[in-house]
Amino acid sequence: MSEIANESHTAGDAVLRVTDLQMHFPVRSKGLFPKTIGQVKAVDGVSFDVQPGETLGLVGESGCGKSTTGRTALRLLEPTSGKVEMDGIDVTRMSAKDMVPLRRKAAMIFQDPYNALNPRHTVGAIIGAPFAVQGVEPAGGVRAAVRELMDRVGLNPEHYNRYPAEFSGGQRQRIGIARAVALRPHFIVCDEPVSALDVSIQAQVINLLRDLQDEFGIAYLFVAHDLAVVRQISHRVAVMYLGHVMELTSREELYSRPLHPYTHALLSAIPVPDPRAQKNREHIMLSGDLPSPVNPPSGCVFHTRCFVAQDICKVDKPVIREFEPGHQVACHFPITEYLGSTLIVGPDPGLTPESDLEGRQDGDPMEQAGDSDLIHEPGTNYTDGTDSLIDPGPGLWR
Amino acid sequence: MTDLSPAPRRAYIEVEDLSVQFPTEDGLVRAVDGVTFSIDKGQTIAIVGESGSGKSVTAQAIMGLVNARTADVTGHVWVDGQDIVGMTDDELRKMRGSTMAMIFQDPMSSLHPFYRIGAQLTEAVNVHNKVSKKEARDRAIEMLQKVGIPSPEKRIEDYPHQFSGGMRQRVMIAMALINSPSLLIADEPTTALDVTVQAQIMELILELQQEYNTAVVLITHDLGIVADAADQVAVMYGARVVESGVIDDIFYKPEMPYTLGLLASVPRLNQVRADRLDPIPGNPPSPIRLPSGCVFNPRCVYKDRVEGDLCATERPALLPTDLGHMVRCHMSKEDREAVATIALGTLGRETA
Ligand SMILES: Nc1ncnc2c1ncn2[C@@H]1O[C@H](COP(=O)(O)OP(=O)(O)O)[C@@H](O)[C@H]1O
Ligand SMILES: Nc1ncnc2c1ncn2[C@@H]1O[C@H](COP(=O)(O)OP(=O)(O)O)[C@@H](O)[C@H]1O
Ligand code: SF4
Ligand code: SF4
Ligand SMILES: [Mg+2]
Ligand SMILES: [Mg+2]
């Protein structure tokens, strides 16, 4: 499926690679002659890559720098320092003019389908705009191409001449998606694309994004604060906190064997929509709120809220490192045991034999709930066999 | 009617056939249409549903906050045997803040930006109690302490903007609970918060609920929060309650196709990527043009199991399917159970 790289792609090049990226915004004093009195360290030394056809999820609480990372990655912002490479080309200091041809290869989808679309333009004009901007004339003409795109994303092509206000939230997000994929980009930054949508509509849009990825081999940087949504769509996930990537690994690893204390806390804080499972989970309650990115804590930026912090954490900033192959973490004391924070990781339903499933559906649900071999008991270590329950499932990338 | 005495009330709160309509230029908005549920002290009912399904207007009607000049409210909201619907503004003011209180997604909707929070909290005490200045102040400090504001005797002098988002949410909760109301309505209280702060706030609400034995109406679109906090659930769609029951009925034995769709479309932390989500097709209805018959029929994939075009023409009633479990659907119980098994195959597995 998504292993298929875009043909025009040079093998081995990441569609995006950022290295030690920093994006600091000046804080200015008020008054007639504003002076810079500080820096918002929105992104403060972030490195990752996105491979062709891959989805890298970027999660974290609001204000941790996800959107800024996404916008800097597309060079909508010029980074304070660090390097941004698209398809192997260093674009860190490239002029807007030189960026133009590269803009064809990348696009962005926004959270708010209400504000991202110009209310005075027809849907046809909105979706067709990238052709005009890039001076591309698709075979068969722009109109036909737009109608085809509308059809592809689940909009009625007959609605070509309607205005955004006539569409529901989910449909507006489809309009944004159609425009983003118009030029068949290699790479799309999706910034909270389903956060404003109702769950039933969320699912429609997530499925659409996955289908488009499979069809066109598009890579996504998928920014979201909802870890369940990110799990649904990502191959790898990076967890951000206060401008830093705290942990980066495959989806399976992150959700079943998190290492960073913050990841443990995040996962344990999310209630699962399953009352019995939810009641059996243990919660790590983080104290306090997020510190300000203007004046981040010394040492490890998480130390003010960390439940396993030691003295060294206050002075010595942990560097992100490969703790295990393919599993990066920025922490002096990664947590390798099960804390109750991780999930009830059941076998992949796609792999469970049908007969097995039928048997499970009837009978007393209480009794079934007691059949707790799918539930991690608090205090269980990963090593005692529970990890055999964690199955990556079929059709996975790599 | 000749019988003027109110019928015996079984639950502390009984919402009975509540409807709210707003006449607007575009037509009549049916925001709430025959909503019925009940809840006892110390219990939590969660109202879930898509945006626009009428959750907030239901809450406002229970609080007597729907303006009678712009809206038409019918039905009953019995709070401890007294009907909120039809009360005068004076009577309502006496109830609000003492017997019942409300918290919102945005704390600034109940905090005044220009007054110190101490002044606002003591004011809330004074409106409903004859107490000295010192007593009111002590009560305010005690309440701030309770909601987890550090050094409350100092913070009482601060203005709302001097608190962080999570702390402001705590102040609002202190304000709502300062007169120990027996009914708390929480309308998306954590939707604007990050998960780690959300967990703190939910824990706080549940702790205080236990302490005061409060009945809580929790409005949310997050099924995780429902699973975590609710005893009862009312699922709303297109201004109506389409299914209600105890939490286990709704999560493990749902019967109404919208509930099934909702449960099947929510991404789960315990679900893998290879597993596609199963969305509900189509879009939610406009409250001005609610579909005739069953409000869910344009999106329902099971309506061909019902004979004729009943789903499109006849409004199904909210009927008991089991003890305390109500469903609004024309399908036979057999069919409802059969489609639940089809729709929730994956969920059945997960809870098995
Ligand atoms: N243009 C800007 N000027 C100043 N500060 C900004 C700007 N954009 C973002 N920030 C700040 O940078 C931090 C990270 O913001 P953002 O990247 O939007 O976070 P997220 O998307 O994770 O919520 C926040 O503190 C935000 O206020
Ligand atoms: N004052 C009002 N005038 C007209 N329509 C309203 C008013 N308040 C709410 N509505 C409409 O009533 C419907 C239900 O709204 P609401 O209860 O806020 O939904 P929810 O809280 O479930 O998202 C919506 O379609 C909304 O637009
Ligand atoms: S480095 Fe120290 S403070 Fe930071 S996350 Fe690890 S243990 Fe906690
Ligand atoms: S009444 Fe008909 S349309 Fe409505 S949920 Fe039941 S089967 Fe579906
Ligand atoms: Mg953002
Ligand atoms: Mg609402």
ipTM of the shown complex? 0.85
For A344-358, write each residue's pLDDT tens digit. Answer: 333 333 222 233 333
Q: How far out from the chain centre does Cα A319 lie?
A: 22
One domain, residues B209 and B268: no
pLDDT at B193: 84
Q: How far apart are CA B141 and CA B151, in angstroms?
A: 9
For A229-251, write each residue's pLDDT tens digit. Answer: 998 899 999 999 999 999 999 99
Chain B: nearest CA to A314, how far in angstroms? 22
Residue B352 lies in a domain: no
One domain, residues B225 and B86: yes
Instruction: Tell whether the model's pLDDT for residue A2 goes beyond 50.
Output: no
Q: Which residues pair with B292 in a beta bridge?
A: none
A242 within ligand 3 shell (Cβ under 6 A)? no
Q: Is B290:B277 a contact under the CB 8 Å cutoff?
A: no
Of A119 and B214, more confident: B214
Chain B: nearest CA to A288, how far in angstroms? 8
Cα A19 to ligand 4 centroid, rounded to whole Å: 54
pLDDT at A113: 64
Say which CATH number the domain at B181 has: 3.40.50.300
Beta carbons of A228 and B351 less than 8 Å apart: no
Beta carbons of A269 and B349 less than 8 Å apart: no
On chain B, the residues whose CB falls within 8 A of the CB of A291 are: none
Ligand 2 atom closest to the CA of B20, numbered from 1? 12
Secondary structure of residue B289 in the 3-state scheme: coil
Instruction: Give the percent of chain A with pLDDT over 90.
Output: 58
Beta carbons of A277 and B273 less than 8 Å apart: no
For A8-57, write each residue's pLDDT tens digit. Answer: 444 568 999 999 999 999 998 888 888 888 999 999 999 999 999 999 99
Measure CB to CB from residue B194 to each of A200, A210, A225 and give the nearest one.
A225
pLDDT at A345: 37
pLDDT at B7: 57
Q: What's the burial of B158, exposed, middle or buried (CB within 10 Å: 0-12/13-18/19+)?
A: middle
One domain, residues B186 and B77: yes
One domain, residues B86 and B113: yes
On chain B, the residues whose CB falls within 8 A of the CB of A235 are: 273
For A122-179, write each residue's pLDDT tens digit. Answer: 999 999 999 998 888 998 999 999 999 999 999 999 999 999 988 888 899 999 999 9
pLDDT at A374: 26
Mean pLDDT calculated for residue range A207-212: 95
Ligand 3 atom closest to the CA of A306, numbered from 1? 8
Q: Is B5:B206 a contact under the CB 8 Å cutoff?
A: no
pLDDT band, residue A285 (cuts 50/70/90): confident
Q: How far apart are CA B77 and CA B61, in angstroms?
A: 8
Measure CB to CB from residue B195 to each of A235, A270, A276 and give the nearest one.
A270
Judged by a CB distance cut-off of 8 A, whether residue B1 touches chain A is no
Beta carbons of B283 and A170 less than 8 Å apart: yes
Cα B265 to ligand 2 centroid, rounded to whole Å: 24
Beta carbons of A265 and B194 less than 8 Å apart: no
Instruction: Tell whether the model's pLDDT for residue A371 goes beyond 50.
Output: no
Backbone angles phi, psi at A63, to 5 degrees: 90, 0
On chain B, the residues whose CB falls within 8 A of the CB of A289 are: 164-167, 197
Question: ∠ CA A153-A156-A161 to the nearest 5 degrees?
Answer: 110
Beta carbons of A368 and B352 less than 8 Å apart: yes
Candidates A242, A300, A311, A336: which one to mutate for ligand 3, based on the most atoms within 8 Å of Cβ? A300
Measure CB to CB from residue B221 to each of A198, A267, A290 and give the nearest one.
A198
Minimum Cα–Cα distance from A63: chain B residue:
B194
Residue B58 lies in a domain: yes
What is the fold of A15-27+38-241?
A: Rossmann fold (3.40.50)
For A173-209, write each residue's pLDDT tens digit. Answer: 999 999 999 999 999 999 999 988 888 889 999 999 9
A259 within ligand 1 shell (Cβ under 6 A)? no
Where exactly does CATH 3.40.50.300 map onto chain A?
15-27+38-241
Q: How far apart are CA A341 and CA A378, in angstroms?
A: 9
Q: Which residues contact B90 (CB under 8 A, 6 or more apart)?
A: none
A299 within ligand 3 shell (Cβ under 6 A)? no
Q: How far is CA A254 from CA A29, A223, A230, B23, B270, in A?
A: 41, 16, 11, 51, 12
A333 within ligand 3 shell (Cβ under 6 A)? yes
Measure CB to CB from residue B224 to each of A231, A270, A365 and give the nearest one.
A270
Beta carbons of A285 and B261 less than 8 Å apart: no
Ligand 3 atom closest to the CA of A262, numbered from 1? 5
On chain A, the residues whose CB falls within 8 A of the CB of B195 are: 61, 225, 227, 266, 269-270
Measure CB to CB from residue B227 to each of A265, A273, A352 and give the nearest one.
A273
Ligand 1 atom closest to the CA of A67, numbered from 1? 21
pLDDT in tens, chain B (352 residues): 445 555 555 789 999 999 999 999 989 999 999 999 999 999 999 999 988 999 999 999 999 999 888 999 999 999 988 999 999 999 999 999 899 999 988 888 889 999 999 999 999 999 999 999 999 999 999 999 999 898 999 999 999 999 988 889 899 999 999 999 999 999 999 988 888 888 888 999 999 999 999 999 999 999 999 999 999 999 999 999 999 999 999 999 999 999 999 998 887 765 554 567 788 999 888 888 899 999 999 999 999 999 999 999 999 999 999 999 999 999 999 999 999 988 887 554 444 3
Chain B: nearest CA to A228, how far in angstroms? 5
One domain, residues B61 and B136: yes
Beta carbons of A200 and B50 less than 8 Å apart: yes
What domain count does chain B have?
2
One domain, residues B86 and B219: yes
Closest by alpha carbon to B12, among B78, B60, B58?
B78
Beta carbons of B345 and A349 less than 8 Å apart: yes
- Ligand 2, atom 25: closest residue by C-alpha: B52
Cα B62 to ligand 2 centroid, rounded to whole Å: 15
Ligand 3 atom closest to the CA of A314, numbered from 1? 3
Mean per-residue pLDDT over chain A, rounded: 82
Residue B4 lies in a domain: no
On chain A, the residues whose CB falls within 8 A of the CB of B252 are: 365
AA letter at A390:
I
Q: Which residues contact A240 (CB under 8 A, 6 or more apart)?
A: A46, A58, A59, A60, A64, A65, A66, A69, A246
A89-90 and A81-86 beta bridge pairing: antiparallel
Residue B245 lies in a domain: no
Query: The whole model's pTM is what?
Result: 0.85
Beta carbons of A350 and B275 less than 8 Å apart: yes
One domain, residues B106 and B150: yes
Which residues constitute the domain of residue B299? 252-284+291-346
Q: What is the DSSP letter of B49?
A: -
Measure CB to CB from residue A352 to each of B202, B279, B349 and give the nearest one.
B349
pLDDT at A367: 32
On chain B, the residues whose CB falls within 8 A of the CB of A242 are: none
Neighbours of ion ligand 6 (CB under 5 A): B 56
Residue B2 lies in a domain: no
Which numbered ligand comes closest to the C-alpha of A314?
3
Which among A2-11, A314-323, A334-343, B189-198 has the top mean pLDDT?
Answer: A314-323
Chain B: nearest CA to A320, how far in angstroms? 23
Q: How far apart are CA A178 and CA B40, in angstroms?
A: 49
